[in-house]
Amino acid sequence: MECCGPGYASPAEAMKAPKEKLLYTIAIYTGTGIQKPDYLATIDNDSDSPTYSQVISRLEMPGIGDELHHMGWNACSSCNNDASMQRKYLIVPGVRSSTLHIVDCATDPRNPTLFKVIEGSDIKTKTNLSAPHTVHCLGSEIIISMLGDAQGNAPGGYLHLDKNFQILGRWENSMGDIKFGYDFWYQPRHNIMVSSEWAAPNTFMPGFDLEEVGHLKYGREIHFWDFKEKVPKQTMYLGEDGLIPLEVRFHHDPDSSHGFVGAALSANIIHWWKDKNSEWQWEKIIDVDNEPHPEWPIPVPGVISVILLSIDDKFLYFCNWLHGDIRQYDITDPHNPKFTGQVWVGGLLGKAPEVNGVKITGGPQMIQLSLDGQRLYVTTSLFSTWDNQFYPEIRTNGGVMLQVDCDTENGGMKINENFLVNFGEEPNGPSRCHETRYPGGDCTSDIWI
């Protein structure tokens, strides 16, 4: 069965799910110079199939220039007890167009179809929000972080949809003093949501300018929300240790208060938790050193573009997009992570110019881990203007998708030699691949309550 119900009763149950036989991956033409729509690529991941590791269907969006980026399911384990829900639809936003594409992945999982479109202009008119990013199931409803207002200014807010994809309005009751938006994750048993910061759409969309970090146009704070009241209640200023804090992840264990954020420009992993006095604390637990480069006036930062946790909360994975490595740490003790694995994929340091016989342009950017923790899928595009700036050859070479095999007992990682999807050879020309989801759910979409 390709499509599951709304979710799993527990993380332990999720880890026993069958191996994912299909992968859904965002592919973009926005910013490539090719005037074609972005699309959702379906990849055959059945190793016994003649089309294994090939794109078997492409669902084009109705418009051009969406910049599809992140996506999420309409249902997850947070609505596991709601028999009326099904993990049937992917919400696929365009961060530039602000349009939401609702994709039916259950009727024919190998050939998803467009079920509904929510126009960006409608969202802007009704909520004064734009630039959708993270999508999370909220019980039977959906919330989406929106990075800007209708004019592309920060801080944006949160779009609230019902289970029929009708706009209910804005989810939050107040943004408080929050300066920017980006990612978020909630942990209902602690009545907490944590959100992070990138920048205003008007700042990050044209490309990256280091001077704008010094001008405080990029984030360096994370925010703790009263989840029930829908208001921010505490801000943690991370300073130079937390420049551009992007992906946030709580433990999957719903009783745990531990969570992590990757600070992209500082190339640090920040850990937070609730202490014995029920106060939220934070610490830097991993620091990636900048590396010298002959063509750079300053040492190159790693740029931690993504992090994720295995379902059993044993391993933390992250990518250094500019350095080119993916790292694995054992976080059984979240205060004292142990380095257990590393592989190289592209990057600026020249440590993996080719992988599985293909020249890699870009670096490891988005990752998605199988529910059993054994297979890590990695793609190489960050954001079109940033790609073009740091890896200009990606225009002609396109992106790639690889599989990294992970040792879940002792730690360790190895690139799978039998799996590679080369988006540089797509029918309409080289495209770029970003986030990946599975029909049965994955490590970054399921939340337990």
Q: pLDDT of 330-384, one tens digit each?
A: 999 999 999 999 999 999 999 998 999 999 999 999 999 999 999 999 999 999 9
5 lies in some domain? no
Q: Is the pTM of this model over 0.75?
A: yes
297 lies in some domain? yes
Distance CA 396, CA 105 (A): 31
Q: What is the CATH number of the domain that holds 173?
A: 2.130.10.10
Which residues lie closer than 8 Å to 125 by C-beta, 6 or more apart? 150
408 pLDDT above the threshold of 70:
yes
4 lies in some domain? no
Instruction: Please state, for a pLDDT cut of 90, what percent of the chain lies above it.
Output: 94
**What total of structural domains would you count in the chain?**
1
1 pLDDT above the threshold of 60:
no
172 lies in some domain? yes
Print the domain residue range for 21.
11-437
Q: What is the DSSP letter of 335?
A: T
**If we measure between CA atoms, which residue out of 2, 20, 3 comes closest to residue 443?**
20
Distance CA 129, CA 169 (A): 10
Instruction: Please state, for a pLDDT cut of 70, what percent of the chain lies above it.
Output: 99
Give me the chain's average pLDDT, please: 96
1 lies in some domain? no
6 lies in some domain? no
Tens of pLDDT along 20-73? 999 999 999 999 999 999 999 999 999 999 999 999 999 999 999 999 999 999
Tens of pLDDT along 161-193? 999 999 999 999 999 999 999 999 999 999 999
445 lies in some domain? no
Q: HSE-up of 219 (CA within 13 Å, CB side)?
A: 31
4 pLDDT above the threshold of 60:
no
Tens of pLDDT along 73-94? 999 988 877 878 889 999 999 9
Q: Are 69 and 29 in contact (CB under 8 A)?
A: no
Q: Are 223 and 157 in contact (CB under 8 A)?
A: no
Length of the chain (residues): 449
300 lies in some domain? yes
End-to-end alpha carbon distance in the chain? 25
